[in-house]
Amino acid sequence: MDHHAAAQLPSSGLRIGDMAPDFEARSTIGPVRLSSNRGRWLVLFSHPADFTPVCTTEFVALAREAAAFASRDCALMALSVDSLFSHFAWLRMIRDRFGVEVRFPILEDPTLVIARGFGMVSAQDNDSAAVRTTFFIDPKGVIRAMTCYPANLGRSIPEMLRILDGLQAIDAQDALAPANWQPGEALLQPPAHDLDAVFDAEDVTSWFLRNTGARG
Ligand code: BEZ
């Protein structure tokens, strides 16, 4: 496989609502193609480097929650600039030291072509250790949410799962998720868009702020 196939990727600028650009790469589970995950959710995320403290804690935590992602019909796909053999050695160390096997694919991106294509590093920046970017991609291949953390702050795995739960709930209910929403809590209706609905509403907020009656 040509693992430089991602050379067609745009030079970042990706936004929510864009299709995730397709690519192929070598990974710890063999060659992978982003689009082969169509039909299920995908969390694609970059990490600054193997054998670093925060990244190690993230991978241990993600591996321990692998079943939680699988139960949401969501695949995980990680990538960094490190070589495939660095990934292998790191995963062996994680298994031996922490007792968890990282079975989701970790991609090698030695030329940063994927990371640059997804805006995971600045186009001008030769330091791949810049950011921890996470893309939440829906079953149609559309980017639905993104987060970006600095190298020295680890991601929250419960928040990654909450984002997935929220996206899945608002799709299923055609609704909105309020601040601090958690699975099982009330969702909101989209606001009215016509003046009659505004004047007919029973109180001053209910034309734009009301629950659906359903729980996500
Ligand atoms: C870390 O994962 O601990 C880390 C990675 C790159 C820069 C700083 C910290």
Tens of pLDDT, residue by residue over 92-117, are: 999 999 999 999 999 999 999 999 89
189 and 114 within one domain: no
The residue whose CA has the least distance to atom 1 of ligand 1 is 54
The pLDDT, as a whole number, for residue 126 is 59
178 and 133 within one domain: no
120 and 42 within one domain: yes
181 and 140 within one domain: no
Model confidence, pTM: 0.91
Number of structural domains (the chain) is 2
Question: Does residue 48 line the site of ligand 1, with CB under 6 A?
Answer: yes
- Which letter, b or e, does each residue of 49-79 get, where b requires 16 or more Cβ atoms within 10 Å of its Cβ? ebebebbbebbbbbbebeebbeeeebbbbbb
179 and 143 within one domain: no
Q: Report percent pLDDT > 90 for the chain.
A: 84
Q: Which whole number is the average pLDDT over 154-170?
A: 98
Domain-located, residue 91: yes
Q: Which of 20, 34, 55, 107 is catalytic?
A: 55
Domain-located, residue 164: no
Expressed as residue numbers, the domain containing 95 is: 3-155
Q: Does the annotation count 148 as an active-site position? A: no
Which of 152, 153, 155, when mutated, tests ligand 1's pocket best, judged by the most ligand atoms within 8 Å of its CB?
Answer: 152
44 and 15 within one domain: yes
DSSP 8-state class, residue 46: E
Q: Indicate which CATH number applies to the domain containing 58.
A: 3.40.30.10
Domain-located, residue 180: yes
41 and 145 within one domain: yes
Helices (H), 150-203: 157-173, 195-200
Q: Compute the distance from residue 25 Cα to the ligand 1 centre, in Å.
A: 23
Domain-located, residue 47: yes
